[in-house]
Structure 1
Amino acid sequence: TMIALTALAALAADCTVLSGASEVYMPDGPRNGVTLVLDGERIVAAGTVAFEVIGVGARWNGRNCAHVDAAGGSVTAGLIEARAQLGITEIDLEEATRDLDGGGDPVRAALRVADAYDPMSAVIGVQRTAGVTGAIIHPEGGFIAGRSAFVSLYGERQADTVVNPVVAMEATGHHGPSGGADLLALRELIDDTRAWRANQAAFERNGTRAYAASRLDLAAMLDVVDGRIPLVVSADRAADIEAFLRLRAETGIRLVIVGAAEGWRVADALAVARVPVIVDPMVYGPGSVDQLAGRADNPALLSAAGVSVTISTFGTHNARNLRQYAGNAVRAGMGHTVAIAAITSAPAAAFGLADRGRLAVGAPADVVVWSGDPLELSTVARYVWIEGAPVPLENRQTRLRDKYRTLPSTGESGP
C-alpha cells in the first residue's frame, strides 16, 4: 500500500527505495520487477536490487531508506514540456505578467530568458502535480528572440531551479515578407557572426562594415555557429522544412524544428540530417495554409522513419495535459514506448540534456509513480520526485478547492 507523499517527506530519508511497479520505463523500454534507489539528487541503483522492508521504510546497502511500494502502478522519468513559458507568463492576457519579449531590435540573441524566470509562479505547481518535472522555456518576439533555458520545476530560487540557462537559440522566423526572406536574414546573420569573430579588433575600432546585429548578439550567436546549441526554428510546410535542412547543410548549424505538421512528407530527409522535431499530435488536418497536408499520424510516421520526435502541448497553463497529447499520438499509430520517450528523453536529448528524462543510474532523480498506464486519461501521478526531493502534490488550485469545498453560508458541502 502506498503511503501518502507528505508522510514520505516526513521520513526525511536521504535515500528512497521504489519497488513493485508493474512497468518501469527504462531507456531500453518498459520492464517489470525493476527496483529504483534514489539517493540525494540521483538515481543510484536500477534493476534487481537487494533490500529489506522494515515498517514503512527499507534497509538498503546498510542504510535506512524510505520505501514506496508502487504495486499496480507504473514509473517513468519526469515529463518534460519542450515549448512552455512557465515562470515567465502568469496570465496570458495581462501584459504585466508576461516577461518573455525582449523588445527593441529584431535580433536579440544575447537575451537570456532564464534571467526572468520566476520559480514561485502559481502556474508551475499545477503542471508539477501532473508529473511535469522540467521544461524548456523560451522567449518570444523579434526575428531572433533570444536564448532558451531548461528549468527544474521545484524550488524557490533561480539558483536552485535554472538547470541550464542556455540550451538553444530561439528564431521566430518572421523577419521578412516570405520564408525566403527569413532564410536570407538567417544566412546573413550567420555569416556576420563569423566575420565579427575574425575581425573583432577592427570592429572595436569601427573599422568594419555594419553587421546584422550588435556585438553582444553576435557573441551570443557564436554558440549556434559553433554547434554548441541548436537554433530552434518554426516550420510546418514541407517545403519550408526542406529549406531549413539546406541551411543546415550549408552552414553546419544544429537545428530543432518546431511544428513540422507536414514533416511526414520529408521524414526521410529529417532522419538523414538527424534533425529533431517538436510536434503537436492534435493537428489532425489543415489548421492553416502551412498545414494543408497535416495528419493525425504525423508523429507516428516521423518516428517510424527514424526522426527524433518530441511531443508538446504548446501551452503553458495546460502543460499538465502533456501525457494526454502523447496518448493521442499512440491512438494515431505511434508506439506506446516511443510516445513515452517523446515526453521524457527525446526533449532532453534534443536540447543537449543527455542525463535528463531517463531512469538510469547516475541520472537526476526526476521520477513519477503513476496509478496505472501513464497515457491513460484516468491515471494520476501518485508520487513525484524532482532531483530526489519528494514533491507535495498540491498547488493553488487544490488549495482553493479545499478552501471552498464547504460552503460557509450553509455548512453544506460544495460540488
Structure 2
Amino acid sequence: MIRSLLLASAAAALALPAAAETIAIVNARIEPVSSAAIPAGTLVIRDGKIAAVGANVPVPAGAKVIDAKGGVVTPGLVAPSSNLGASEIGGVRETRDDGTGNALSAAFDIAYGVNPMSPMIGLARDGGITSSAVTPVLSGSGAGAHVHADDGEVEEMTAGKDGAGDPPLFGGQAAFIRLKAGAPDIVEASKLAVTVSLGQSGARAAGGSRGASLILIRSALEDARAFAARRTAFEQGATRDFGLSRLDLAALIPVVQGKVPLLIRVSRAADIRQALKLAADEKIRIILEGAEEGWMVAPEIAKAGVPVIVDAQADLPDSFETLGSRLDNAARLHAAGVSVAINGSRDFNNLRQERLNAGLAVANGLPYAAALAGVTLIPARIWGQDGKIGSLDVGKQADVVVWNGDPLETTSWPLNVFVAGVEQPQDSRQTQLRDRYASSDQSGYPAAYR
C-alpha cells in the first residue's frame, strides 16, 4: 500500500502540466501590487508572460477564458526565507539538507540539496506560493540534531560520525526556487546571500558570547579580503594562517565586494544595532531576518536602507532577546520607511502562514497594499528577482494566482495557480491521501483497503 502511494506521488510529481498558452482571466479584482488595484478587470497571459492587464482589456481570439467570478488575482506569493525543497521531516536529521556540518560554513550551497520532487512543494503551491528563497541555518554535525523552536537553528545534541568540533560560524549560501510542477530543476538562482546569526544563535556558534561572534565575523571578512588580494600567495603557502578554509573564504569574497548580502538572523534591538554597525564599518550589504525588536530601532534600519524579513505573528517573549516582540512590529517598521517582507513559518508544512501573517499585520496597522507587497514584490526585490516576478506588470513572467476572495483572509483559497504562464496541478500528497482514503464502495471500504 505504501509502495503504491509513493509511486502515485512520484508519477504526479513527474507529470508535466500543459504547455503555456494564451489565457484571459476575466471578472476579477486585480492587485498588480506595483500600482493601484483594478476593481474589475482582465489579465492576459501569453507565451508564459503577462501580455495585458487592465479594466478594458479585450479577450484575445482563441484564448482560454477563466472567469474569476469577482475573485481576486494577485502575483504568485514569494516566501522570503524557508527550507522548502531542502528539508522533509524536521525531527529526522537524514532528511534535512538545510544545514551543513563542521567541514563547511560560508561555502555550503543549499541549492545542491534542493529536491524538485519534494511533496512539500505541491502543498506550498496549493497555498498560492509560486517561488521561495531557500536559506540555510546553522547546524551541528551529527544525527542527533534538533530544531530550536525559538530561532529555527539546528543544534547538535549528540556527536555524529563526522566527529566533534565547533559549530560553523556561517550557515551557508541561499538559493531561489520556482515551484513549477514537473521541472527537473527548480533552482532559479543560487549563491544569493550568505547566512549568519547574531544574538543567542551566534553566541552559541562562537562559544557562548555575542561579542565573540561579532569579532569572529569581522575577522572572517578581513580574512576574505586578504585571501582575495593574495590568492596566488595563499596557494603557495606564503600567507598568514586564515581562520576559515579556502572554500569558505572564497564564498565570502562576493560579500566583502558588495555583490551579495549577508542575511543576518537577529532579534534583539541591541543586536540589530550591532548588525547595522557591522554593515557600515565593513561596507557590506545586509538583510535582517527576524528582527522581533526591530520596531525599537526602526528609524536606524530605515536610514541604513536595510530590508527586513519579519514573522508578523511573533509577539511572545519566549526568550530574553525577544522581550520586546509585538504584533505591530511590521506596521511600525513600514511607517518608519523600512522595506518589510513577511514570512510564514520556516516549517515547510506551514508556508501557507505567510499570507495569514500578512493579514494579521494588516489587523495590527500595516496598510493592506504594503502587506500584499510584503508577500510578493518586496521579497522578490530582496532576492533580485523583481525584474521577472513579484507584480502583475506587462512583460513579467506570469506567476499568477486566482483567489476566491481576499488572499489575506483565512477563508480564501487559490482557485488557479500559474507559474510562468503554466497552470499548476492542485495535487499534493495531502489531496492524494484524502482521495485514497475518503471514497468507499458498497462494502464500505475505501479503495486503499481493497
Could you tell me how far 1:293 is from its partner in structure 2? 1.1
The equivalences for 1:82-121 within 5 A come to 82-105=80-103, 108-121=105-118
3-state SS of 2:222 partner: helix
Instruction: Tell me the distance in 2 between the aligned counterparts of 1:139 and 1:210.
Output: 27
Report the counterpart of residue 46 of structure 2 in structure 1. 39
3-state SS of 1:169 partner: strand
Could you tell me whether the CA contact under 8 Å between 1:229 and 1:351 is conserved in 2? no
Could you tell me whether the CA contact under 8 Å between 2:266 and 2:291 is conserved in 1? yes
3-state SS of 1:340 partner: helix
The equivalences for 1:321-360 within 5 A come to 321-355=353-387, 356-360=389-393
Report the counterpart of residue 394 of structure 2 in structure 1. 361
Could you tell me how far 1:157 is from its partner in structure 2? 4.3
CA deviation digits over 1:337-383, x for unaligned, max 9?
11111111111111222222111112121100100111111111010
Q: Is 1:319 paired with 2:316?
A: no
Could you tell me how far 1:40 is from its partner in structure 2? 2.1
Structure 1: stretches of 5+ with no match in the other structure? 1-8, 53-57
Report the counterpart of residue 337 of structure 2 in structure 1. 306
Report the counterpart of residue 191 of structure 2 in structure 1. 166
Instruction: Tell me the distance in 1 between the aligned counterparts of 2:234 and 2:223.
Output: 12
CA deviation digits over 1:202-247, x for unaligned, max 9?
1111011011212222111111111221101111110000001001
2:424 is aligned with what amino acid?
V
Report the counterpart of residue 377 of structure 1 in structure 2. 410
Q: 1:351 to 1:48 in 2, by over 3 A?
A: same
Q: 1:124 to 1:12 in 2, by over 3 A?
A: closer
Report the counterpart of residue 292 of structure 2 in structure 1. 261
Report the counterpart of residue 283 of structure 1 in structure 2. 314
3-state SS of 2:24 partner: strand
1:325 is aligned with what amino acid?
N
Residue among 159, 175, 180 paired with 1:149: 175
The equivalences for 1:62-101 within 5 A come to 64-101=62-99
3-state SS of 1:250 partner: helix
1:19 is aligned with what amino acid?
V
Instruction: Tell me the distance in 2 between the aligned counterparts of 1:277 and 1:182.
Output: 21
Report the counterpart of residue 6 of structure 2 in structure 1. none
Residue among 397, 400, 407 paired with 2:433: 400
Could you tell me whether the CA contact under 8 Å between 1:230 and 1:351 is conserved in 2? no
Instruction: Tell me the distance in 2 between the aligned counterparts of 1:43 and 1:345.
Output: 15
Could you tell me how far 1:49 is from its partner in structure 2? 5.4
Could you tell me whether the CA contact under 8 Å between 1:11 and 1:66 is conserved in 2? no
1:29 is aligned with what amino acid?
A
Stretches (4+) displaced over 3 A: 9-13, 155-159, 407-410
Could you tell me whether the CA contact under 8 Å between 2:26 and 2:66 is conserved in 1? yes
Instruction: Tell me the distance in 1 between the aligned counterparts of 2:360 and 2:255.
Output: 34
Could you tell me whether the CA contact under 8 Å between 1:348 and 1:354 is conserved in 2? yes
Could you tell me how far 1:409 is from its partner in structure 2? 8.4
Could you tell me whether the CA contact under 8 Å between 2:181 and 2:425 is conserved in 1? no
1:395 is aligned with what amino acid?
S
Instruction: Tell me the distance in 1 between the aligned counterparts of 2:445 and 2:81.
Output: 42
CA deviation digits over 1:260-288, x for unaligned, max 9?
11100100000010111111111123121
Could you tell me whether the CA contact under 8 Å between 1:83 and 1:315 is conserved in 2? no
2:35 is aligned with what amino acid?
D
Report the counterpart of residue 121 of structure 2 in structure 1. 124
3-state SS of 2:124 partner: helix
Q: 1:191 to 1:33 in 2, by over 3 A?
A: same
Q: 1:43 to 1:239 in 2, by over 3 A?
A: same
3-state SS of 2:234 partner: helix
Report the counterpart of residue 21 of structure 2 in structure 1. 14
Structure 2: stretches of 5+ with no match in the other structure? 1-15, 140-167
3-state SS of 1:29 partner: coil
2:366 is aligned with what amino acid?
M
Could you tell me how far 1:11 is from its partner in structure 2? 8.0
Could you tell me how far 1:12 is from its partner in structure 2? 5.6
Could you tell me how far 1:158 is from its partner in structure 2? 4.7
Instruction: Tell me the distance in 1 between the aligned counterparts of 2:184 and 2:392.
Output: 25
Instruction: Tell me the distance in 2 between the aligned counterparts of 1:11 and 1:119.
Output: 18
Instruction: Tell me the distance in 2 between the aligned counterparts of 1:44 and 1:168.
Output: 32
Report the counterpart of residue 274 of structure 1 in structure 2. 305
Could you tell me whether the CA contact under 8 Å between 1:227 and 1:252 is conserved in 2? yes
Report the counterpart of residue 26 of structure 1 in structure 2. 33
1:263 is aligned with what amino acid?
G
Could you tell me whether the CA contact under 8 Å between 1:77 and 1:368 is conserved in 2? yes
Instruction: Tell me the distance in 1 between the aligned counterparts of 2:121 and 2:109.
Output: 20
Instruction: Tell me the distance in 1 between the aligned counterparts of 2:317 and 2:33.
Output: 36
Q: How many residues align?
A: 395
Q: 1:409 to 1:94 in 2, by over 3 A?
A: farther
Instruction: Tell me the distance in 2 between the aligned counterparts of 1:332 and 1:115.
Output: 39
